Every structure is written in structure tokens, then in C-alpha cells.
Structure 1
Amino acid sequence: MADDMPKQDLSSEGIAAALRGRILSGDYGLGQRLIEMDLAEEFGVGRGRVREAFRMLTGEGYLEFVANRGVLVRRYSRVELIEMGRVREVLEGLAARLAAERALTVVQRHDLEAAQARMDAAEVAGDLDAFGVENRAYHRLIEDLSGNVHASEFITRVRIPLIRVQMPWEEVAESVGRSNRGHRVITAAILAGAPEAAEVAMRTHVRDGNAHVARLPDEVFEGR
């Protein structure tokens, strides 16, 4: 029945979530201009609500405002990605260490094991979209398990939201296996309560991702 269908969230947060999903799925291309008036009409809301969603997504790094062009889906330069990756290496390494230092509850241990299992399943299935979703959720989970809101806050500021979209499909497919091997080492170290090993494994994992970005062809970063 129609009454049983979930209603679309038309708050600024809901609109931002919808646009974020379109960006991550590739429905919106890098550098694509988003028209405030068109989206207001599509969602059936005032332009101010769409404008606030734009502000949210700009703050998160999904969109950018370019003079004389308007609001665009953001494309990162190689230098930007590498600089962000260097900071993430330190911060995410700390989060992994803190997670391993804590006495995790049965539920928290189960959550981490389940997150790893979902990534393993996506890797085996060759489901790149699912792996991307689970990969982001896995890193956020470790931030949560660290129990340090400041570490989580700073990681959020330098998280790279569009690397999956920006990279060519063949590059993503090639990197999934290597990335998930790193995840398994991190997961094992946290579950074993080995803080130093967890930090080293996470820093190595992020550093490997940074090295991959450095090797990408120039075409990936064109169009700015």
C-alpha cells in the first residue's frame, strides 16, 4: 500500500543525503554543475533548503563553489589527495591504536568481525560498489571504537569522500584485493588487543593508498 512506502526526507539533511548518494553512485559526474532551482523543483522545496544542503556538502568536501560557474561536484587534485592522505595516516593510525587498547564489548567485537566479513564478501563477489560502501563504514567503525571524539572529528575533516568516484573502475578493481588484505591485518590486531600492531597496520594501509594515488595517470586529475 502507498501509505506503507517510506517517505522521502525533504529536510536539508535529507536532501544532502540524497545528493551525496547520487555523487557516490556516479549519477553526478565530477565537475558537474548542480542547479539550485532545478533541485528545488525536483524535491518540491524552497531554494533555501537546497542551498543549505549545498553548504553541508561543500563542508564535507563533496561540492565546491567556483566563481562564474556555480556549485560543482568537487574534483580533487593529486596534491590535495596525497596531502590529505598523509594526515589520515597519522590520525587513522591513532584511532586503530586506541581501538586496540580498549576492552571491546562482545557487541563491538561482533560489529568489527561483521564489517570485515561484509568487505570479504564484496571482494569475493567483485562488487565494487558494495566494497566502497563497506570500506567507508569500516573506517568509521574504527573511529567509533577508538572512543575518542576528537580523533573522529579531525579524521572527518580530511576524509577523502570522492576517491572511489574519481578513480577509474579498473584502478578500483585492482586495488580492492590489496586494500582488503590490509583491513584483515588491522582487524586481527584490534581484536587481539595489540595497539602497536594495529597502528602500524593502519598507517601502512593508508600509506599504500596514498602511493596508489601517486601512481594514477594524469587524466584522473584533469578537468579542474
Structure 2
Amino acid sequence: MTTLDNHRASALPEPENGDGPARGGTVEYVLDHLRNGVLQGRYAPGQRLIEADLTRDLRVSRGPLREAFRRLSAEGILEIVPHRGALVRRLTLREMKELFQIRLGLETLAARLAAEAMADPETKAQFEREIETIWDEHPRPPGAEYIDENHQFHDAVVAASGNEQLLKLTRQLRLPVLMYQLAGTLKTENIAASLAEHRAIARAILAGDAKLAEEHVRDHLQRALGVAHAMPHRVFAR
């Protein structure tokens, strides 16, 4: 948060009924509200976000709201359109396919490098710590928690590769907006299949089997692409 945003946030009165943001946390409050709103379907892909409505409903000023818009635009969740304002970003089916193709090449490389890196005990121990939640077999419902866990696993694989540029590239291409775009149509069985694939990838990496790790990542992303491709056409921009 910038100094200006801190000043604006601290200048806001505390809500008398306890609802709304606490001082110093206004931008984060707006970010959480908007992210969850997109995820839960309150704000649909392609929808314009009206500043006047949000400042009234969230009881915040325009400064923190616009900073939240800027951050979410940088994350790929919103897009700022001249003379229209902030819209929930909506990928086309073609964009989704192209991004998956790029991820496929980068993440299979990352898996191979990560498997080779398991010869180093410290790297292996760090990887085991970062992926420990995948071994918990309790069902995950569609939502922000699963999206975060999914991102953390893929980040852990790439981080274990030791290639910092690869990590930067994959983070840019991990399709945050697509995950939010598809969240409303994901099913519990899709998530269960994804988690099982994460475990297979992890086992291959931990065993130092670079070829098998690559194969599992390729199968995982191709299945995910198939799930996304089977979504209703209304999910995607034209």
C-alpha cells in the first residue's frame, strides 16, 4: 500500500456497526471483497464495476477502490478500459488454449528440473514442506481456498527447479482470471482428480524421476485443458 493510500485509509471513519474495513486495511478489504465476489459469482466475467456503487456499499473512498482496481488489473482479474472503467476480465476460448499451451512447455521443463534437483537434501526438504497440504485427502469444495492451494503447488514445483526466471514466467501465466472465470462451473470431482494428479507429480519429483514427472505434468495440464474446453460457451468471451 502506498503512503497516499495509508493516509486515505486512516482518514476513513470506523463503521459504527462494526461492518466494513478497519483503519489501515482498506485496500486489502476491498481486494478481498472483489476477489471473493468474482469467485462466488457476484461479479460476472465481463461485468463493469461501478465506482459509485462500490464506494457506497463498501463505505470506502475512491482512492483505495482505484488502488484495488489497479492491483487486480495487474493480477489479470480485472481490465481497465478507457471511458468504461474496471471490468471483470473474461478470456476467450482461444486465449485460454494458447495460455495452456505455453504453460505445458514451461511446467514440464520445471518438473524435470525439480526432479533432478531432489539430489540436494535441502532442496528436497524445502519442497516437501511446501507441498505438505496435498497429502490431506479431505474433499475441497470449489472456492478461493482450493485456487490458492493449486497455485501454491504449481509454484512449489517451479521453485524447486531452481530457475528464478522460469518461476516469474509461470506465475504470469498461471491463469488467475481463468481460475476465477471457471470457478462457478468447477465440480468437486474435478478438484479431486486434480489433487490426485498433484500427488502423482509430487511422488515422481521426490523420487527423482524426471521423465515420469514430465509425463504427469503433461497429463495433468492436458486434462485441465479438456475440462476447461468442455465448459459452456457462455463462460468465455467471444
Name the count of aligned residue pairs: 213
Q: Which moved more, 1:149-158 or 1:31-40?
A: 31-40
2:135 to 117, 134, 143: 117
Say which structure is richer in helix.
1
The letter for the 1-side match of 2:142 is L
1:26 to 41, 50, 75: 41
Is 2:190 the counterpart of 1:175? yes
Aligned pairs for 1:97-116 (under 5 A) are 97-102=112-117, 103=120, 104-112=123-131, 114-116=132-134
Asked if the contact 2:115–2:207 (Cα under 8 Å) also holds between the matched residues in 1, the reply is yes
Deviations 1:80-130 (A, max 9, x none): 111111111111222222222222243431332x12124x3235xxx2224
Q: Which moved more, 1:177-186 or 1:6-15?
A: 6-15
Change (3 A) 1:36 1:54: same
Q: Which moved more, 1:74-83 or 1:47-56?
A: 47-56
- Structure 1 portions without partners, runs of 5+: 1-5
Q: Which residue of 2 aligns with 1:166?
A: 181
More relative contact order in 1 or in 2 (CA 8 Å, sep 6+)?
Answer: 1
The structural deviation recorded for 1:12 is 4.8
Deviations 1:37-77 (A, max 9, x none): 44456666653443233222112210012344321111111
1:203 to 210, 218, 228: 218
TM-score (norm 1): 0.79
- Structure 2 portions without partners, runs of 5+: 1-20
The letter for the 1-side match of 2:125 is V
Deviations 1:5-43 (A, max 9, x none): x95653656644553343334343222222334445666
CA separation in 2, counterparts of 1:168 and 1:151? 26
Deviations 1:179-223 (A, max 9, x none): 22321210111111122221221122112211222232322225x
Q: Which residue of 2 aligns with 1:128?
A: 142
Asked if the contact 2:139–2:192 (Cα under 8 Å) also holds between the matched residues in 1, the reply is no
RMSD (Å), alpha carbons: 2.8
State percent identity of aligned pairs.
35
CA separation in 2, counterparts of 1:66 and 1:100? 43
TM-score (norm 2): 0.75
